[in-house]
Amino acid sequence: MRSGAFLYSVPSVNLVHWYFNAPLKVVANPWLKFFVIAGLRLSAILASFLKSL
């Protein structure tokens, strides 16, 4: 069963799904940026630490 046909047959569920998903995406965006930056910094610190060993 294709997801497109299922979403069209149940529009109310699709609306609820969008209602919960939209704020999550708005909230997740800055957090994703933060985690990416933190991850890059951590990897840089680890790399310099390994070089100093």
How many domains are contained in the chain? 1
Does the pTM exceed 0.85? Answer: no
List the domain range (segments joined by +) for residue 31: 3-52
Residues 8-51 have pLDDT tens digits of 555 666 777 777 777 777 777 788 889 889 999 999 999 999 99
For residues 7 and 14, is the Cβ–Cβ distance under 8 A? yes
3-state secondary structure 10-34: CHHHHHHHHHHHHHHHHHHHHHHHH
Helix/strand number for the chain, H first, E second: 2, 0
Here the tokens at position 23 are 């704020």
The confidence score (pLDDT) of residue 13 equals 67
